[in-house]
């Protein structure tokens, strides 16, 4: 595989979705990449890879779902797996065993701050419309806002406290890693989905380092430029959805 091949991100157009975790890594590194979200026929490219008739090829087995990354002769799927691959190539992973610490942190953020928020609007079945599971969604979202979200934020605050005491704003080590980017995107999505709940939690003052890290990543020059560009897509019907009835009451 040629290490100079451009990275190719294959993901649904129209939502940041899980593709965003990959985009932020590529953008922070200033890497050259293509993105089906902005290509004509982008949806078709996704569909052809997840088509039931596709049995894979020398680049890899058929992916179950996007995001998918192609790099030279290699094609891989699963968001954290793609980040594990990209991390060392983009300078977003420390060398040695630290790579696994970074991956643990990213996986934990994806569990509690991405997958669980998704389940608040699809608690019964992914193939059903939200409108067919509103009552269950309300119960699930309330539990998420009052129990799970504070629990995960407390966890990350605990991870950050000793780091910040040593003058490091990052989740692990002394430079930004892809875990910080994943964490940023999760908090950003949560701010969109549950603006009142996140603002309430921020105002408690119990998670200062969590919200500081969010701002620090947002202010990274390349991330800032990306967020202001038309490459950054708007939230809509993806993982992070804003249904006022699922947020804190006014
Ligand atoms: N665990 C996978 C989940 C992939 C996934 O659920 N992708 C969504 C879009 S964000 C999808 O298209 N899913 C189709 C399906 O599950 O049938 C990952 O982290 O990449």
Flag whether pLDDT at 2 surpasses 70: no
DSSP conformational letter for 245:
G
Flag whether pLDDT at 13 surpasses 70: yes
- pLDDT mean over 225-230: 98
Cα–ligand 1 centroid distance for 226 (angstroms): 24
- pLDDT mean over 87-106: 97
**Tens digits of residue pLDDT in 116-171:** 999 999 999 999 999 999 999 999 999 999 999 999 999 999 999 999 999 999 99
**CATH code of the domain made up of 98-246:** 1.20.1050.10
Return the axis-axis angle of helices 98-110 and 79-90, rounded to nearest 10°: 140
Where in the chain do CATH 1.20.1050.10 domains reside?
98-246
* Closest C-alpha residue for ligand 1 atom 15: 65
Type and span of the H or E element at 34 = strand 33-35
- pLDDT classification of 4: cutoffs 50, 70, 90: confident
Architecture of domain 7-90: 3-Layer(aba) Sandwich (3.40)
Q: Which atom of ligand 1 is nearest to the CA of 66?
A: 7
**Tens digits of residue pLDDT in 37-65:** 999 999 999 999 999 999 999 999 999 99
Cα–ligand 1 centroid distance for 65 (angstroms): 5
Type and span of the H or E element at 7 = strand 7-10
Where in the chain do CATH 3.40.30.10 domains reside?
7-90
Cα–ligand 1 centroid distance for 161 (angstroms): 33
């Amino acid at each position: 595989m040629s290490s100079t091949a451009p990275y190719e991100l294959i993901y649904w157009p129209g939502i940041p979705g899980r593709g965003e975790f990959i985009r932020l890594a590529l953008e922070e590194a200033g890497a050259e990449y293509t993105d089906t979200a902005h290509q004509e026929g982008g949806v078709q490219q996704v569909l052809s890879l997840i088509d039931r008739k596709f049995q894979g090829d020398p680049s890899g087995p058929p992916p179950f779902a996007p995001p998918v990354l192609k790099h030279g002769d290699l094609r891989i799927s699963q968001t954290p797996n793609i980040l594990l691959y990209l991390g060392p190539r983009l300078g977003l992973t420390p060398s040695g065993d630290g790579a696994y610490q970074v991956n643990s942190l990213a996986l934990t953020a994806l569990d509690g701050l991405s997958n669980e928020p998704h389940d608040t609007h699809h608690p019964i079945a992914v193939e059903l419309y939200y409108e067919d599971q509103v009552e269950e969604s309300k119960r699930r979202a309330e539990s998420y806002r009052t129990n799970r979200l504070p629990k995960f934020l407390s966890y990350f605050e605990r991870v950050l406290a000793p780091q910040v005491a040593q003058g490091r704003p990052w989740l692990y080590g002394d430079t930004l890693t892809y875990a910080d980017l994943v964490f940023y995107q999760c908090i950003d999505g949560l701010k969109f989905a549950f603006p009142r709940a996140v603002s309430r939690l921020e105002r408690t003052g119990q998670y200062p380092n969590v919200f500081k890290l969010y701002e620090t990543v947002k202010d990274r020059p390349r991330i800032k430029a990306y967020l202001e560009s038309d490459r950054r897509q708007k939230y809509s019907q993806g993982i992070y959805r804003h249904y006022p009835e699922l947020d804190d009451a006014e």
